[in-house]
Amino acid sequence: MKHFIFLLMLFCLSCANQYSSSNKIYKRQSRAFAKNIKTYPLKDSLNSGKFIGTTNFNLRKPEFVIIHHTAQNSCAQTLKTFTTQISQVSAHYVICKDGTIHHMLNDYMRAWQAGVSKWGNDADINSSSIGIELDNNGYEPFTDYQINSLLRLLAALKKKYNIPTANFIGHADIAPRRKNDPNVFFPWKRLADSGYGLWYDDTTNVVLPSTFQSIQALKIIGYDVRDTAAATVAFKRHWLQDTLPGLDSAQYKVLYEMMEKSLR
């Protein structure tokens, strides 16, 4: 029994120390940023010698939440990727299949999760968003544990930063030519029903106006329409759980409905 307890203690100690190296790097970089921020007088773009500190300021806050799937085969693999500097990718949160939430970066800091992306007029999504990665290889449903944990996290983020309901979107939405996450299995309607993201109403009686243009509608929603085919597929992936090219008459109604909701 004593031997078993000893082995268990060794195992727990190894788990605790597994990320000690990356934690040290995190702390070192955080201290460097903090030192730069608190420099007095300011030494950034202009050294005029006429510094007067304003009394009215706070930290910049995130305006979007971007949801991803990891496209990897385990939470451990993703954590390793995000704690290896050579990977050059990161996220603020990682949610494992068992619902465990790993907080990997202060919410006010800029993660490298969105890449080359655009939503509306914002072409630097990394600087305005929080990135959440869900352990999922891209070809499987998400677990209830994951979604329940995600909803708890989204509730906290929305309340703390007053993030608009429409600004909970997916990686594929902001980078339709490059990405497909969080895949067609992601329960966007369930999130929208809880207040995180928009969803359409019954479109049975919707009549499309003669002036309706699908490309303009995609642009109003937020999509980068330089590649209209990619933007259309990204829209269908999010709101129709479909990745076939083109739109039929019923799907045009959904697009129109989402455009109208985006304008409200």
Q: Are 195 and 189 in contact (CB under 8 A)?
A: no
The catalytically annotated residue of 63, 133, 140, 257 is 133
The identity of residue 116, as a single letter, is V
Q: Are 178 and 116 in contact (CB under 8 A)?
A: yes
Q: Are 207 and 104 in contact (CB under 8 A)?
A: no
Helix (H) or strand (E) holding 176: none
Alpha-carbon distance of 83 to 73, in angstroms, equals: 16
Q: Are 150 and 136 in contact (CB under 8 A)?
A: no
Q: Are 72 and 84 in contact (CB under 8 A)?
A: no
Instruction: Give yes or no: 133 in active site.
Output: yes
Q: End-to-end distance of the chain based on CA atoms, in angstroms?
A: 65
Q: What is the DSSP letter of 139?
A: S
Alpha-carbon distance of 15 to 42, in angstroms, equals: 42
Q: Reduced to 3 states, what is the DSSP secondary structure of residue 99?
A: coil
Residues recognised as catalytic: 133
